[in-house]
Structure 1
């Protein structure tokens, strides 16, 4: 896979920033419930563990909903799909804020998860198309950065608002912001100049590519490894490292800042050297998680390792998303949706196995050990991709050194010129 060093835009299009604001809202709503479970449980008359189903339902909605919504909205104009997703997202929050029934709130969470899946898979395609092939990883890094900022700022602010007033208050705020975002996206996302007929068969045909599944498995393994440790980071910090409970939010903020740095740096490096960036990030994440098993008895070492874990773990996510879309060729919508599903599958399975390890004699060292093994397994699909690339490079003859030509009419006949778009496409070809 050739490094992309030419025709790289110095600045991402404004459209990407607008879409990143949308992913910020989506990320906030996914995790803000975690900080309000006691208040929700008390108000709706259920146990805290039962109220935790609101988080599980959202994750399940994302796993199933992202690919389903990608196919369901495939032939709709992308701008319309984004606006519709945000509108449904806002209405879901209104219903949850008004309802006294836990079952209705649970159903509203599933609906908002479906809207989130639709927004993400279409937004990823719009952002990468606007940024161009030489800045695909950077654009996805910006979108993932919105999710990361949600964990750093949106979730703590939403939890604080819910605790200071009522758990329904953040839902009203998210509904209002989502409606405003729908108006902004309707204004700034350009409409498609020419309606292309998108084929469901073509989208599914992309799944025959072995490289797509290798990249998807790498997403599930790496995020599953990092989030296996992160899901149970609180008992690790307080019971093993001896950090006061009041300082835990500061450590989590440090982790979120590291994740934001990772998506930014990884997105920039991944456009130049994607596979090298991925293998380095996976190997570094494995090492950091292993060090966390042995040195998490030290408060200082634990804080440093948790912060660096955010950097290394999330440096690979925009690059992997970009590879999935690139390997899918002309059918990126379903591929981007499956990338979202793969990350949620990895998180769900990783946290489940980590919970078993936590209850074992390993105790608080169990989750990072599970994360170490899972992150190390990421090197298997990544190494396979590297070997496939090397094999293709040795068996595929180099293209002739002639520019791509396009014909445009001139006075005395046809004038021949070089087509820079074709040259850029050739350079970005994996």
Structure 2
């Protein structure tokens, strides 16, 4: 169910963003939140599993469009000098929700049941819908393009193509390894469920801190921010392999991993903006497509490694892919064309 929603979030986003290019972005965001509210309500009340799957598929499309337009909206409703900081706030929210959502959902399910949990999510979505309707100003679409133009961007824009390749590599590596953090810790440290939950929450907090840190650094040195962040991913995964068999070592490695991932997250969004400033929304839809599809593929490849070579091999898989992303960025830095070309 989760995989289906992730794949739909990736594959449908570029089409939906292009097809809705004449719609005010506040209206579109409100519609997405209404779909999220109804989708969680239907899931909670659904009498059959096929209906739940169909509902999660629709919610996947909605969440993918939010990824594509949310950062751009945040950057537009603040003064230009605060755009990076606004993007950092959005990415921090995504980082915290990604890590804290599953443990929080598990706690709620244990206290109630899974249907009540989805009812609570539906109510929360309704609250956010109301907040957006009241607080977010009208944001007419400014740089969305047709579907054909969206898919020609990586062909004509070398810089964007390189950014997308870089994103695919580090997302494959990061999520391939992250998906198997729990079994790795259970195997290497005999960690308890409480310890693992606490460590993952710390990872999420570190990711949010990394986002806010990058909100200051990407404006001063974008390339350096990505290089340091991506190198941090490689080092943290290596540390997890070397000292992750001890609780303190595992915590240290995951804190560095979270910080580094937070920096890379914001840096890659800013790199996308730099590569395609005139068509940022369309470029972000391609970024979202690459990102979410790579999440699903990373988990798939990680599972294959874990099944055939053991959980430790998945961490090595992460090391290899994140190192490849860093190497590609360094190798193409001097040859990367000017912005938008």
SS at match of 1:131: coil
Q: Which has the higher contact order (CA 8 A, sep 6+)?
A: 2
Contact 1:215 1:381 in 2 (8 A): no
Paired residue for 2:112?
165
**Which deviations, in whole Å up to 9, do the C-alpha atoms of 1:355-398 show, x marking residues without a partner?**
2222234x231111000000000123312442135x76xxxxxx
Q: 1:31-430, aligned counterparts within 5 Å?
A: 54-192=1-139, 198-200=144-146, 202-207=149-154, 208-361=156-309, 363-388=310-335
Q: 1:317 to 1:197 in 2, by over 3 A?
A: closer
SS at match of 1:316: helix
Q: 1:157 to 1:243 in 2, by over 3 A?
A: closer
Cα distance between partner residues in 2 of 1:234 and 1:319: 27
Q: 1:197 to 1:222 in 2, by over 3 A?
A: closer
Name the Cα RMSD after superposition. 2.3
TM-score (norm 1): 0.73
Deviation at 1:241, TM superposition (A): 2.1
Contact 1:215 1:323 in 2 (8 A): yes
Deviation at 1:195, TM superposition (A): 7.2
Contact 2:108 2:117 in 1 (8 A): yes
Deviation at 1:298, TM superposition (A): 2.5
Q: How many residues align?
A: 339
Pick the structure with more helix per residue. 2
Contact 1:225 1:373 in 2 (8 A): yes
Contact 2:11 2:289 in 1 (8 A): yes
Contact 1:229 1:371 in 2 (8 A): yes
Q: List structure 1 runs of 4+ shifted beyond 6 angstroms.
A: none
**Which deviations, in whole Å up to 9, do the C-alpha atoms of 1:12-55 show, x marking residues without a partner?**
xxxxxxxxxxxxxxxxxxxxxxxxxxxxxxxxxxxxxxxxxx11
Cα distance between partner residues in 2 of 1:222 and 1:131: 30
Once the two structures are overlaid, the 10-residue window that deviates more, 78-87 or 200-209, is: 200-209
Mark the runs of 5 or more structure 2 residues left unpaired by the alignment.
none
